[in-house]
């Protein structure tokens, strides 16, 4: 978890998102089309060549490594490469968590790209979404980044592809540990639940800048 201050204003954030969110959505559509397309091999070959051309164009100027977790002076996070929530990441569904008092929720549509057993959501994808939500839930209530130390998941019954709702709730805190319960539902009810032990790390890259931003927020 490497945090980095990027001192930009809300208008600049919106300007950037107005360009990259539609691009990310288009690539999500492409992923789904590649999985489900039944066109001829020649059409698939032609598509590959065109996609390779676009990839080369985008690679002309790139960040080293991952996208990172930049945040603004007033602690607005921009983890746009995140595998669960990233607004620039076409493999993120994306989950868009909402936070209340000790409770975080989020809904996603999980299509063909998230399939495990036929017609059902992959268990690892559910764990990914739970991991993110418990992380944000603990981090928001204590207002400091938390890492997942332990996440125990119980798969109660298969989760159908389609709309999936998640809810996480803090159940307790003890020193640097926060305990979180999390549930996943498909259209027929609860399919999985989990218990997480979230830990506020002693140190992480960018900690001082995060603390300064927290001190600035009302």
Ligand X SMILES: CCCCCCCCCCCC(=O)SCCNC(=O)CCNC(=O)[C@H](O)C(C)(C)COP(=O)(O)OP(=O)(O)OC[C@H]1O[C@@H](n2cnc3c(N)ncnc32)[C@H](O)[C@@H]1OP(=O)(O)O
Binding residues for ligand X, per CB under 6 A? 77, 131-132, 135-136, 139, 143-145, 147-150, 175-177, 197, 199, 201-202
Instruction: Say if CB 193 and CB 171 are below 8 A apart.
Output: no
For residues 112 and 106, the answer to whether their CB atoms sit within 8 Å is no
- What is the closest distance, in whole angstroms, from the C-beta atom of residue 96 to ligand X in the complex? 14
Percent of residues in the chain assigned helix, strand, coil, to nearest 5? 35, 30, 35
Pull the structure tokens for residue 87. Answer: 């607004």
The residues pairing with 178 across neighbouring beta strands, listed in sequence order, are 173, 198
Q: Which is nearer to ligand X, 104 or 159 (CB)?
A: 104
Q: How far is the CB of 18 from ligand X (least distance, A)?
A: 24
DSSP string, 175-186: TTEEEEEEEEEE
Report phi then psi at 93, rounded to 5: -55, -30
**Contact criterion met (CB below 8 Å) for 199 and 176:** yes
Q: What is the nearest approach in angstroms of ligand X to the Cβ of residue 130?
A: 10
User: CB-wise, 176 or 181, nearer to ligand X?
Assistant: 176
Tell me whether residue 87 or residue 161 sits nearer to ligand X (CB atom).
87
Q: Residue of minimal CB distance from ligand X?
A: 135
Q: Min. distance of Cβ 217 from ligand X in angstroms? A: 9
Residue 54 CB, shortest distance to ligand X, in Å, is 30
Q: Which is nearer to ligand X, 128 or 192 (CB)?
A: 128
The three-class DSSP label of residue 1 is coil
Nearer to ligand X, 110 or 210 (CB): 210
């Amino acid at each position: 978890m490497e945090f980095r201050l990027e001192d930009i204003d809300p208008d600049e954030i919106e300007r950037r998102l107005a360009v990259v969110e539609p691009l990310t959505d288009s690539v999500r559509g492409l992923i789904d089309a590649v999985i489900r397309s039944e066109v001829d091999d020649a059409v698939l070959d032609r598509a590959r060549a065109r996609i390779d051309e676009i990839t080369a164009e985008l690679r002309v100027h790139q960040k080293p490594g991952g996208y990172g977790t930049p945040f603004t002076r007033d602690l607005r996070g921009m983890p746009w490469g995140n595998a669960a929530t990233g607004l620039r990441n076409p493999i993120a569904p994306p989950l868009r968590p909402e936070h209340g008092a000790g409770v975080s929720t989020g809904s996603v549509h999980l299509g063909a790209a998230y399939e495990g057993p036929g017609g059902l959501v992959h268990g690892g994808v559910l764990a990914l979404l739970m991991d993110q939500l418990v992380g944000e839930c603990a981090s928001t209530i204590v207002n400091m980044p938390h890492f997942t130390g332990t996440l125990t998941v119980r798969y109660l019954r298969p989760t159908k592809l389609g709309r999936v709702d998640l809810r996480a709730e803090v159940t307790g805190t003890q020193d640097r540990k926060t305990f979180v319960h999390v549930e996943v539902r498909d259209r027929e009810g609860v399919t999985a639940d989990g218990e997480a032990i979230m830990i506020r790390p002693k140190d992480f890259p960018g900690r001082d800048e995060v603390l300064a931003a927290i001190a600035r927020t009302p």
